[in-house]
Amino acid sequence: MPFPVYIPFFPDAEPHRLLSREAEPTDETTYLEQPAQMISAPVFARALPRHGLVVDAGCGGGRWTHFAVQHGCHVVAVDCYQPVLRQVHVRVPTAKLVAAEASDLPFRDGSLSGAISLGVVEHDPNGPGKMLAEIGRVLEPGGILLVSVPFNNFLRRVFFNPLYRRYNNRWAGRGHYFVEYRFSAAELRQALQAQGFTVERFVPHEFFPPRNMGLVSDRNLLSVRFVPNEHGGWSLSLPPHRGWEIEKRWQPLLRTLWKLSPWLVCGEILAVARKRTV
């Protein structure tokens, strides 16, 4: 079973403030250059279909929409969060924008040649099946899906997951709410196959050291707290938004594990999958 992650949220609190902070970079140029700086970038670029339409389902701040457009794709950026779409319009003015859920895409059956969905399908507490099925519905037979989910890597299994079990996950449903699942390669393959996809390859989806999405995400998620505010209620307290570079004390460990294998510490796993034709 994929590993579930819970963090503290109170009723009516706004989770988008945490989950969509990538739409608020301080340096636009640096943000848009990030995809090309990831280990997965060459595989991603080769797999992108240049014909027909490509949907970025859950586009976030639009950095991968921009990457796809720069590589000659015709992209429709989809997100349910309006502030994010406004940012994407500024960053990628040639992309078409649609406000919708990734689980309910406003496209005809088999009408798209490709789909991108990065860091999205893991957020459904019922599992990724509904969103993957919906993406499969709108893809043409043989259409390409580039999907990434959090990877249950070695460092998480031996260090971070026990912390979640002790401090967060045991409070599930009592002020601590579901955020995401983390997958092994076998679990992601099974989820994709169940919805009519054939996996062509897996790739670590991560920055090169000293940046690391996995370590920064775990630091952030384990630091989320609610604090009293001046109105007698509670406010969401988040760690500083410092980008993806990790603290210096972690860098020697990261570099050592990365040299052994990026799979030991990569924060996400990218699957290149194809919709089956029969």
Over the stretch 25-62, which tens digit does the pLDDT of each residue have? Answer: 557 888 899 999 999 999 999 999 999 999 999 998 99
Does pLDDT of 7 surpass 60?
A: yes
Gap between the Cα atoms of 100 and 114, Å rounded: 17
Mean pLDDT value across residues 71-86: 92
Residue 244: partners with Cβ closer than 8 Å, 6 or more residues away: 34, 207, 211, 212, 213, 216
Gap between the Cα atoms of 132 and 136, Å rounded: 6
Gap between the Cα atoms of 254 and 257, Å rounded: 5
CA 269, distance to chain mean position in Å, is: 10
Q: pLDDT band at 273, cuts 50/70/90? A: very high
For 3-17, 98-112, 176-190, which range has the lowest pLDDT when averaged over its residues? 3-17
Q: pLDDT band at 139, cuts 50/70/90? A: very high
- Residue 12, token pair as written in the block: 């009516």
3-275 placed in CATH 3.40.50.150: yes
